[in-house]
Amino acid sequence: MLDKKYLHDALNHYAKHTENISHVFFAGSLPKPPQLAYQVHFPRVEMVLIGELDMDVGSSQGIDTRCTLKQGGVLYLPAESWNKPLWDKPVVTLTVMAGKQSFGMSLLSWDGQQFDSAIKESVFRRGPRIGACILNAIEEAIKQPESQETKRLLISSLLSHILDLIERPVETISKSHALFEAVREHLEQHYHEPLTRESVAQHFYVSPNYLSQLFQKEGQLKFNEYLNHVRLERAKYLLIEYDMKVKEVAHRCGFKDSNYFCRVFRNQTARSPSEYRTQYLSSSIKVGG
């Protein structure tokens, strides 16, 4: 029977016994995800605890592939990446979702015909640094020919960090700060949608003026400045990693008007999106050469 003790025991086991992590796969966001695929705007880890599970996954090369996660197998999905599990045999899985302010975990059991009720838990992150550094290291391993042993150690470190957060939770934060963090996470997950100060305020049942005051009190940027910051950071990633047209990058990052996107991008970086891409790629070639 699945319960939170089972979840904690699984985290503890793979955090301490790296050798039992069988293989680490990676997913991408291309091509467009098929129907019933899972795709979210933050990093995820899918792990098989019992049995095995076949999955169709995206890649960064524009083709989808299929991988088989056996017991202890891991699929790491950067933000926007997708996977489509093929539920054709009994399996127990652990999912870890890395939000900006918390880690969410869920256990799921499939007996071949139906799902058991999922066990879910979340834990606040103790500041962004440690968790972010581990996630960044994992994503860097995607680009480099790191060994499976290194990748297993990184996944084990992430699970160990989450277990530490569960055992030593952060102090309770004020209601206004908790709301501020929730709004920030909402923007970071839905930046590609046509968000406005009014629509976000309505989503959280507060007034637009209160939302503005919240950002003035709790944050360093105003609401629209922060939203543009999130969108531009994602645009930089897409410009570097994918051969997309500037207009498509703008659309994927929530900018309806590509000309406005280019103006905002230049104001923040002193370069156009095309110049930013060219400069980054040329510097990478020099370093690599």
Q: What is the pLDDT of residue 5?
A: 92
Structure tokens of 28? 């991408």
42 touches 79 (CB < 8 A): yes
For residue 46, count CB atoms less than 10 angstroms from its CB and return exposed for 0-12, middle for 13-18, buried for 19 or more: buried
Mean local confidence (pLDDT), 8-28? 96
Q: What is the pLDDT of residue 118?
A: 81
Q: What is the pLDDT of residue 284?
A: 60
CA distances from 68 to 24, 53, 89, 219, 256 (A): 11, 6, 12, 43, 39
Q: What is the pLDDT of residue 178?
A: 83
Cα–Cα dist 157/176, whole Å: 32
What rounded mean pLDDT belongs to the chain?
Answer: 90
Percent of the chain past pLDDT 90, that is, above it, reads 67
Delineate the domains of the chain, giving CATH numbers in brackets: 4-167 (no CATH), 175-288 (1.10.10.60)
Confidence of residue 281 (pLDDT cuts 50, 70, 90): confident
With vertex at residue 183, the alpha carbon angle to CA 185 and CA 233, rounded to the nearest 5 degrees, is 50
State yes or no: pLDDT of 172 exceeds 70: no
Mean local confidence (pLDDT), 215-241? 91
For residue 107, the SS3 value is strand
Q: Which pTM value belongs to this model?
A: 0.65
DSSP 23-55: -EEE-B-BSPPPTT-EE-SS-EEEEEEEE-EEE
Q: What is the pLDDT of residue 127?
A: 67
70-108: per-residue pLDDT in tens? 999 999 999 989 999 999 999 999 999 998 778 999 999
Please report the beta strands in the chain, taking only residues with DSSP state E, as ranges in sequence order: 24-26, 38-39, 44-51, 53-57, 65-69, 74-77, 82-86, 91-98, 102-110, 119-124
Confidence of residue 264 (pLDDT cuts 50, 70, 90): very high
State yes or no: pLDDT of 273 exceeds 90: yes
Mean local confidence (pLDDT), 245-271? 93
CA distances from 282 to 49, 65, 69, 141, 276 (A): 43, 30, 38, 21, 10
Q: What is the pLDDT of residue 287?
A: 46
Confidence of residue 289 (pLDDT cuts 50, 70, 90): very low
27-61: per-residue pLDDT in tens? 999 898 898 899 888 899 999 999 999 999 999 88
Percent of the chain past pLDDT 70, that is, above it, reads 95
Sequence-separated contacts (24+) of 141-147 with Cβ below 8 Å: 142/26, 142/76, 142/78
Candidates 274, 276, 273, 230; CA nearest to 254 is 230
246 touches 211 (CB < 8 A): no
